[in-house]
Amino acid sequence: MKLSLKDITDDRRSGSSKIIEKALNYLENLDRKSQIEAAKEIANAHPSMTGLANIMKLVESYEIKEVRKIIEEMNENASKKLAEIVEGKSVVIISRSHIVESGLHRARKVFILRSEPGGEGVDAYKFLKEKIEAELVCDAEMGYAVMKCNAVVCGADAISKDGFVNKVGTLPLALTARHFNKPFYVVAPSYKAGRLRVVEPFEYIPADLATLITESGITDWQKVHSLIGFL
C-alpha cells in the first residue's frame, strides 16, 4: 500500500527509526522542493523525535539515497553491537524499536511489555515471536519480567549527554532494573543526539540509569555529541 504523508505524520505506534524509514520512502518520490516541505512537516509532527528531526534536516542538503545509506549503516551497526551483548540472554523490552528488535535474534528469550498507552508492545510481540521465544506481559508485571531476565533494553527517540527520551514507562522500567541489579541498555545511533523535548506519551530518563549503545558500541554519555560528524 502506498504511503501518504498523513500515514507518517499520524503514526504513533512505530519507533523513530521506522518512521525515518517510512519518511525516506515517501520523500524519494517527490520533487526537490516538495521533499524539503514534507520533511519539515514530518519533523514537526513528531517533536520528541530528535533523530527524525536531524535526518529530515539532512534532506535539505543531501540526496535521499545518501541519507538512507548513512542511516542504514548506523542502524545496522547499533543492532549488531546489541546482538553481541544479549547473545544467549533473556531480555525485557518496552515499546517498539526497529533497531532493538533487529538486535535480538541471538537472545534466548524476550519479555515484551504491552507499553500502554498505545500498546505497541503487542506489535513487537507479533514480530518477534516468529524469530525467538517471546512472552507478552502487562506493564504492571514489569517487576516479574525484570526478575526473570538478564538484561533490560530499550530504544530512544532522542539522546543527550544527560539522558534520553523514550516512551512513558521507560523510567519505572529503568528504576526496576536498578532495584534488581539488572543492566539497562538504551540503543540509539548517534544521529539521535540533540535537544531533548518531552511531550506525551514520552518521558525523560537520566543517563545514570542506563548504559548507552550506539553504532560504535558502548558509548560514554559525555561523548554523545562529539560522535555526530555529518550534521
For the segment 40-88, what is each residue's pLDDT rounded down to a tens digit? 999 999 998 999 999 999 998 999 999 999 899 999 999 999 999 999 9
Tell me if residue 157 is catalytic.
yes
DSSP 131: T
CATH of the domain at 150: 3.40.50.10470
**In this structure, is residue 169 part of a structural domain?**
yes
Identify the band that residue 5 occupies on the pLDDT scale cut at 50, 70 and 90.
very high
Identify the band that residue 149 occupies on the pLDDT scale cut at 50, 70 and 90.
very high
Question: How many percent of the chain have pLDDT more than 90?
Answer: 86
**In this structure, is residue 146 part of a structural domain?**
yes
- Does 20 share its domain with 92? no
Please check the confidence at residue 94 and state whether its pLDDT lies above 90.
Answer: yes
- Does 116 share its domain with 201? yes
- Does 96 share its domain with 210? yes
- Does 61 share its domain with 168? no
Predicted pLDDT at 15: 84
Please check the confidence at residue 127 and state whether its pLDDT lies above 60.
Answer: yes
Least confident of 96-105, 108-117, 167-176, 190-199: 190-199
Encode pLDDT of 168-193 as tens digits: 999 999 999 999 999 999 999 999 99
The boundaries of the domain holding residue 43 are 5-69
Q: Give the chain's domain count.
A: 2
Please check the confidence at residue 227 and state whether its pLDDT lies above 70.
Answer: no
If DSSP codes are grouped into helix, strand and coil, which group holds residue 166?
A: strand
Predicted pLDDT at 121: 96
**In this structure, is residue 211 part of a structural domain?**
yes
If DSSP codes are grouped into helix, strand and coil, which group holds residue 115?
A: coil
Residue 19 CA: distances (Å) to CA of 25, 180, 216: 10, 33, 23
Catalytic residue among 11, 123, 157, 162: 157
Predicted pLDDT at 228: 59
Identify the band that residue 2 occupies on the pLDDT scale cut at 50, 70 and 90.
confident
Write out 25-48 in H/E/C secondary structure.
Answer: HHHCCCCHHHHHHHHHHHHHHCCC
**In this structure, is residue 74 part of a structural domain?**
no
**In this structure, is residue 137 part of a structural domain?**
yes
- Does 98 share its domain with 154? yes
